């Protein structure tokens, strides 16, 4: 918490700084501090984001694999019912938004929804709890919400984008190039159509490139804003009993509302992935 040893600004900056590992200009490797974090440059790794994102992915795989192995047609357990409900919900959404033939999209949508939901859910953990526990081990910085790191959200977005480009060429072949160069403006005169190709390509390529940025930045922006609000509310605990009680009420209210945000952002990321994959399979 912010105290006489730490101002409010320092407290906020501390909670929004990742545990970063990389190579310094002198050639040495190590973890950055607040004073030299910018020296690591572009190739630095956010260790906390990597640990939590991969750990939550492993948790998702473990839980669903456990249910799949122990699934029974007799009286199912409550958790099996819960997993089956999620699978049926995702399957229904995929059937509504995806109109291709590949069997890869449904598992992809299920993985994305559950993985993003678990990463978003970490935002409901008290903001000071894990950083305080980690500080006991001598670690100065630690963020437990991977989706507040643009490297994570944009990494997932560009992975979806790469799949979209791959299937666009696989399904459409040369037709995908035609979509980028012969639309949206079309003319019957071949000579005019050739002249208009650069303008068509400019419009289409901007629209294409915007997809991964809108996908990744939407998730990052919403989760980052939610985390910031939790941090700002926690500052009220340093203002005395009255403000502390007010902070507790506000934090509980925001946490309840944030459950909707956490779920909705995972759902939007999943639906947009299905839409983009459907676009890759639709041949004009």
List, for residues 120-137, the tens digit of each pLDDT value. 999 999 888 888 888 888
* Site of tokens 């507040």: 148
Residues with active-site annotation: 214, 218, 222
Q: Where do we find the tokens 């999620």?
A: 86
* Residue whose tokens read 């915007």: 210
Higher per-residue pLDDT: 172 or 39:
172
Which tokens go with 172? 């459409």
- Residue ranges per domain, the chain? 48-281
Nearest to 208 by CA among 244, 242, 237, 184: 184
Mean pLDDT, all residues of the chain = 88
- Computed on alpha carbons and rounded to an integer, the radius of gyration of the chain in Å comes to 23
Structure token digits, residue 200? 């068509």
Structure confidence by residue, pLDDT tens digits, 33-80: 766 777 787 778 999 999 999 999 999 999 999 998 887 777 778 888
Whole-number Å distance between alpha carbons of 225 and 191: 51
Residue 14's pLDDT is 84
- 163 Cβ neighbours under 8 A, 6+ residues apart: 108, 277, 280
- Provide the pairing of β-strand 45-46 with 29-31: unpaired
User: Does the structure show a pLDDT above 90 at 9?
Assistant: no
The pLDDT score that the predictor gives to residue 1 is 45
Residue 143's region, left for phi above 0, alpha for psi from -120 to 50, else beta, is beta
Q: Whole-prediction pTM value? A: 0.89
Nearest-5° Cα angle at 54, 210 to 37: 70
Question: Which DSSP string corresponds to 203-216?
Answer: HHHHHHHHHHHHHH
Is the pLDDT score of 3 beyond 50? no
Least confident piece of the model among 133-147, 156-170, 217-231, 263-277: 133-147
The DSSP bridge pattern shows strands 45-46 and 20-23 to be: antiparallel
Burial 148-183 (b: 16+ CB within 10 A, else e): bbbbbbbebbeebbebbeebbeebbeeebeebbbbe
Q: Average of pLDDT values for 98-125? A: 91
Among 84-93, 184-193, 215-224, the minimum mean pLDDT is found in 184-193
In angstroms, the CA 157 to CA 231 distance is 27
Direct distance between the N- and C-terminal alpha carbons of the chain, in angstroms, rounded to an integer: 57
Contact between 223 and 265 under an 8 Å Cβ cutoff? The reply is yes
- pLDDT computed for residue 237 by the predictor: 85
Nearest in space to 116 (alpha carbons), one of 172, 155, 79, 83: 155
Structure tokens at 272: 């947009």
Measured CA to CA, the distance from residue 282 to residue 137 in angstroms comes to 53
Mean pLDDT of 255-275: 94
Adjacency order of strands within the sheet including 45-46: 29-31, 20-23, 45-46
pLDDT at residue 77 in the model: 81
The token duo for 213 is 């940025």
pLDDT of residue 284: 59
């Amino acid at each position: 918490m912010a105290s006489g040893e730490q101002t409010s600004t320092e407290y906020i900056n501390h909670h929004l700084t990742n545990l970063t590992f990389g190579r310094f200009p002198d050639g040495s490797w190590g973890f950055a501090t607040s004073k030299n974090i910018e020296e690591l440059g572009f190739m630095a790794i956010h260790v906390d984001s990597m640990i939590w994102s991969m750990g939550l992915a492993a948790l998702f795989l473990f839980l669903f694999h456990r249910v799949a192995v122990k699934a029974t047609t007799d009286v199912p357990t409550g958790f099996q019912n819960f997993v089956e409900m999620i699978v049926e919900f995702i399957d229904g959404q995929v059937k509504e938004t995806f109109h291709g033939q590949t069997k890869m999209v449904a598992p992809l949508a299920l993985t994305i929804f559950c993985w993003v939901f678990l990463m978003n859910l970490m935002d409901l953990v008290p903001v000071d709890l894990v950083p305080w526990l980690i500080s006991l081990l001598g670690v100065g910085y630690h963020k437990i919400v991977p989706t507040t790191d643009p490297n994570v959200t944009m990494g997932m977005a560009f992975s979806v984008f790469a799949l979209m480009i791959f299937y666009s060429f696989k399904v459409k072949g040369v037709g995908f190039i035609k979509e980028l160069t012969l639309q949206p403006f079309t003319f019957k005169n071949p000579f005019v159509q050739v002249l208009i190709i650069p303008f068509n390509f400019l419009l289409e390529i901007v629209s294409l490139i915007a997809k991964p940025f809108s996908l990744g930045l939407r998730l990052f922006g919403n989760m980052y804003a939610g985390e910031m609000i939790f941090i700002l509310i926690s500052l009220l605990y340093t203002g005395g009993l009255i403000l502390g009680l007010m902070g507790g009420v506000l934090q509980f209210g925001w946490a309840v509302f944030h459950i909707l945000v956490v779920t909705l952002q995972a759902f939007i990321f999943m639906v947009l992935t299905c839409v983009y994959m459907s676009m890759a399979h639709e041949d004009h």
